[in-house]
Structure 1
Amino acid sequence: MNDFSIYIVFIHVLSAVLSVGPLFVLFVVLRKMQESDRQLDQSHISIFRSVVRLIKHAGHVLVGSGVLLIIIGPWSWYTSWIVMTIALMVVSIFFLARAFSSILKRFDDVEADRFSLISKLRKATWIYIILLVLMLALMVIKPTLW
């Protein structure tokens, strides 16, 4: 492994950490939202959107560095764990694009049930974490699935 590959692996791992780690901060924000009143919702939603934006941009770096690692590495695009990771990535991209923003927009509606929306955000966060952990497991374990 040359120096360039080592730097790409480091960038890839760091972006994976930045794609998963901040999600756990959202549970603290959700707990604060549960305990606070509607007046603080916009500040909590702002934090939520910032974390989602960070995750999204870290995901871009993660994908870019992953593509580089496949190009310079010993793996083929048809390796089973790479195909499965890409499939999960496509699912997670659609999920991230739809799950959080649509729920966050509904907080503007004064008549919306806050606790139901908070519950949906918590569920969406867990689903996204599970998707990311599955992708992470595929990248670390590199199982031969077929």
Structure 2
Amino acid sequence: MDYFFYRILIFIHVVSVIVSIGPFFILLPLVQKLNEAREAELDTYLNTFRYAVSLSKHSGHVLVGSGILLVIFGPWTWGTPWIIMTLIILFCSLFFLARAFSPTLRKFQEKDQLREKLTAKLNRTIWIYILLLMAMLWFMVVKPDVW
């Protein structure tokens, strides 16, 4: 494989990691705004939250695609321990992401919901997801010999 093409794949992979993780740090202060928002502002904050999660999901598609190409064309195999661990965490994070945000965001639209409880749940969910993403990032950067 052409060395230049492989380097471009690495660049695409790194940029997609940044776009996948970055929005969640922006969402942390937004969660506090959700707690204090008036009804007129609530939809704007919720839409921003949904957009950030959607951006992260779609950049995750690029991340996975470029990761697959890097394994196919690079020096690593699917049996490499850090790749296996990254894939395990990836599948866990996919299940987590599928159920983490949408149901809680929908509850903001319902009457008689305690916003403090919902924002605390969103805040906890964001941190859990950030930790999952950072664990995957650690495996990809450090490439430890797990076994």
What TM-score range do you get, normalising by the shorter chain? over 0.9
User: 1:49 matched to which residue of 2?
Assistant: 50
TM normalised by structure 1 equals: 0.97
User: C-alpha offsets along residues 56-83 of structure 1, whole Å, 9 cap, x if unaligned?
Assistant: 0010000000000000111110110000
Structure 1 portions without partners, runs of 5+: none
Q: Which amino acid in the other structure matches residue 19 of structure 2?
A: L
User: C-alpha offsets along residues 71-102 of structure 1, whole Å, 9 cap, x if unaligned?
Assistant: 01111101100000000000001111101001
Q: Tell me the matched-pair count.
A: 146
Q: Percent identity?
A: 46
Q: Indicate the RMSD between aligned Cα atoms, in angstroms.
A: 1.0
| In 1: Cα distance, 2:43 partner to 2:37 partner | 11
TM alignment of 1:119-134, pairs within 5 A = 119-134=120-135
| In 2: Cα distance, 1:21 partner to 1:36 partner | 23
Structure 2 portions without partners, runs of 5+: none
- 1:7 equivalent in alignment to 2:8: yes
| In 1: Cα distance, 2:40 partner to 2:25 partner | 23
TM normalised by structure 2 equals: 0.96
Q: Which amino acid in the other structure matches residue 64 of structure 1?
A: G
Which structure 1 residue ranges, 4+ long, deviate > 6 Å from structure 2? none
TM alignment of 1:52-131, pairs within 5 A = 52-131=53-132
| In 1: Cα distance, 2:131 partner to 2:81 partner | 20
